[in-house]
Amino acid sequence: MFSCIQRCCKCAERRSKTPFSNPPTDIEIKKIQQNLDNLISFNQTSHDLSFPVINEVQNMLKSVSPPKDEGVSSFSYLLSFAFEQIGNLEFEGASLISKFLSGLLTSYNTNTPPNLSEDFGLISQRYTVTTQQIYNDLTLFKENVIKYIDTPLPVPFGSTLTITLRDLIKETIPSSNEHNFALATQVHTRGLRSSVCKQELPKTNIWQMVYVAYYDGCGYVPGSSLLEVLYPFGYVTDKSPIGIANDELWVDKPSIPRVIVESDDTSYSSFISLVLLYLKQQPQSFIVPWQQKDNIFYYGKYSLMESFSEFRDWKLATPEFCNWLFIDDGFGNIINPDACGLREDVIRNWGLRNGDKIPRVVPNDLPKEGEKIMTFYKIKVEMAQMKIDMQQKTEK
């Protein structure tokens, strides 16, 4: 097979007037070959460990069909993102794994090997064939170090434009029996899960962000004109206790467990500390700090829904799905490092329905109806609690 690397090398030789003018020493060749051996091991191991996340994403997103192959460049972006994440690890050789494998992969975009030119139908099939192509080229490099020593590979991220075999002299890439090798495969798997989910999430058209009104339990699309009347989530900063609750969800759907977390500390930082406690019990939520006016702090609160039409016809996403999707709580506290993406980034930037409609600042001043609405809401909560109490007494 006439590989992509052979074509790249011939082009590089034609451009250079004095190719291979600075050949590596025998010691340097051995160092390069050892690092290539470790890259060969990493290429296969990372594929085997991360391959299952493709079906995992399909299952978690409840997609009708498996992720489809969208061509060389599209898949290169997905896999390069996974390789890129390895460069954030702080051990010798992490950056080399990240840049060299990304560079080799990116070279296929402009010098596509024949076996990568076809439509494979599914991402999973392209991943396996691409891994084999990377193996072919890494072994070719290892057997012909002097020939390919200065062949440039394009690095698709950061300030480094290209990388060559000569760069493999600088550091030692960990071998397959080292802990840092295992760390790199873990980060790679996380990266592929993230990039595949980001590509597939908007295709499902299922998951969406919804505003549920405090006073009637009805769901609404964020950013609608109703939001100006319905938004008054907040707490009085000079009265204790402060807290956050899911009463807007629970008030008309008592089957949803009621969640209340409180603190006698009325500071803003205290309120933020309650958010993580709340989200552990109500992980479908996205909370946006808006403004503090007089002695009231206002915030937006939205819920990830699995289905929504109108009025009370809504269904929350499951806690399992949310904990799989969101790495953090939106305030910098990590919930699941193996999840797909940061909460705010996923909601606002990944094509999730209605996520781009959520205001970053409070839409308008609290309306005059606000106090009346809140009074009505409190009555609804009290009535719902009385109904539950009566049911519990009847069951006893």
Question: For residue 296, is pLDDT > 60?
Answer: yes
SS3 state of residue 291: strand
Of 206, 238, 172, give the one whose Cα is nearest residue 317. Answer: 206
The per-residue pLDDT for 385 is 55
pLDDT digits (tens, 9 = 90+) for 25-76: 999 999 999 999 999 999 999 999 999 999 999 999 999 899 999 999 999 9
The predicted model gives 184-200 an average pLDDT of 98
Determine the Cα angle at 117 with ends 113 and 121, to 5°.
135
The per-residue pLDDT for 273 is 86
The percentage of residues in the chain with a pLDDT greater than 70, rounded to a whole number, is 80
pLDDT digits (tens, 9 = 90+) for 208-224: 999 887 666 677 777 66
The per-residue pLDDT for 71 is 94
Q: Match 């295709």 to its residue by tokens.
A: 203
Q: How far apart are the first and last CA of the chain?
A: 77
The predicted model gives 217-233 an average pLDDT of 61
Same domain for 198 and 306, yes or no, is no
Could you list the beta-strand ranges (E) of 260-367.
Answer: 260-263, 285-293, 296-308, 314-316
Q: What share of the chain is helix, strand, coil (3-state, %, to 5)?
A: 50, 15, 35
Same domain for 245 and 169, yes or no, is no
Same domain for 242 and 348, yes or no, is yes
DSSP 122-189: BHHHHHHHHHHHHHHHHHHHHHTHHHHTT--EE--SSS--EE-GGGGGSS-PPPTTSHHHHHHHHHHH
Domain count, the chain: 2
CA quadruple 19, 21, 26, 27: dihedral, nearest 10: -100
Beta strand 296-308 with 314-316: parallel, antiparallel or unpaired?
A: antiparallel
Buried b (16+ CB within 10 A) or exposed e, 331-366: eeeebeeebbbbbbbbbbebbbbbbeebeeebeeeb
Same domain for 279 and 338, yes or no, is yes
Same domain for 16 and 77, yes or no, is yes
DSSP 182-231: HHHHHHHHHHHHHHHHHHHHHHH---EEEEE-TTT--EE-TTSTTHHHH-
Question: For residue 387, is pLDDT > 80?
Answer: no
The per-residue pLDDT for 383 is 53
Same domain for 130 and 195, yes or no, is yes
Question: For residue 97, is pLDDT > 90?
Answer: yes
The confidence band for 266, taking pLDDT boundaries of 50, 70 and 90, is confident
Same domain for 182 and 42, yes or no, is yes
Question: For residue 83, is pLDDT > 70?
Answer: yes
Same domain for 191 and 256, yes or no, is no
Strongest mean pLDDT among 131-135, 300-304, 309-313, 392-396: 131-135
The per-residue pLDDT for 297 is 76
The H or E element containing residue 234 is strand 233-236
- When the pLDDT of each residue in the chain is averaged and rounded to a whole number, the result is 85
- CB 287 within 8 Å of CB 333: no
- CB 165 within 8 Å of CB 153: no
List Cβ neighbours of 193 (8 Å cut-off, separation of 6 or more): 50, 53, 56, 57, 338, 340
DSSP 340-353: SB-HHHHHHHS--B
Same domain for 181 and 59, yes or no, is yes
The percentage of residues in the chain with a pLDDT greater than 90, rounded to a whole number, is 59
The predicted model gives 272-289 an average pLDDT of 90
The per-residue pLDDT for 395 is 57
SS3 state of residue 235: strand
pLDDT digits (tens, 9 = 90+) for 137-170: 999 999 999 999 999 999 999 888 999 999 999 9
The per-residue pLDDT for 5 is 54
The confidence band for 86, taking pLDDT boundaries of 50, 70 and 90, is very high
The per-residue pLDDT for 230 is 46
The confidence band for 103, taking pLDDT boundaries of 50, 70 and 90, is very high
Question: For residue 368, is pLDDT > 80?
Answer: no
Question: For residue 351, is pLDDT > 70?
Answer: yes
**The last residue of a domain, from among 204, 229, 263:** 204
**The last residue of a domain, from among 183, 204, 225:** 204
Q: How many CB atoms lie within 10 A of CB 228?
A: 14
pLDDT digits (tens, 9 = 90+) for 309-328: 766 688 999 999 999 999 99
Rounded to an integer, what distance in angstroms lies between the CA atom of residue 104 and that of residue 168?
Answer: 13
Rounded to an integer, what distance in angstroms lies between the CA atom of residue 180 and that of residue 66?
Answer: 32
**The last residue of a domain, from among 177, 204, 231:** 204
Same domain for 175 and 265, yes or no, is no
Same domain for 377 and 270, yes or no, is yes
The per-residue pLDDT for 22 is 87
Beta strand 233-236 with 260-263: parallel, antiparallel or unpaired?
A: unpaired
Same domain for 257 and 193, yes or no, is no
The per-residue pLDDT for 16 is 39
Query: Which structural domain, as residue segments, surrounds residue 137?
Result: 4-204
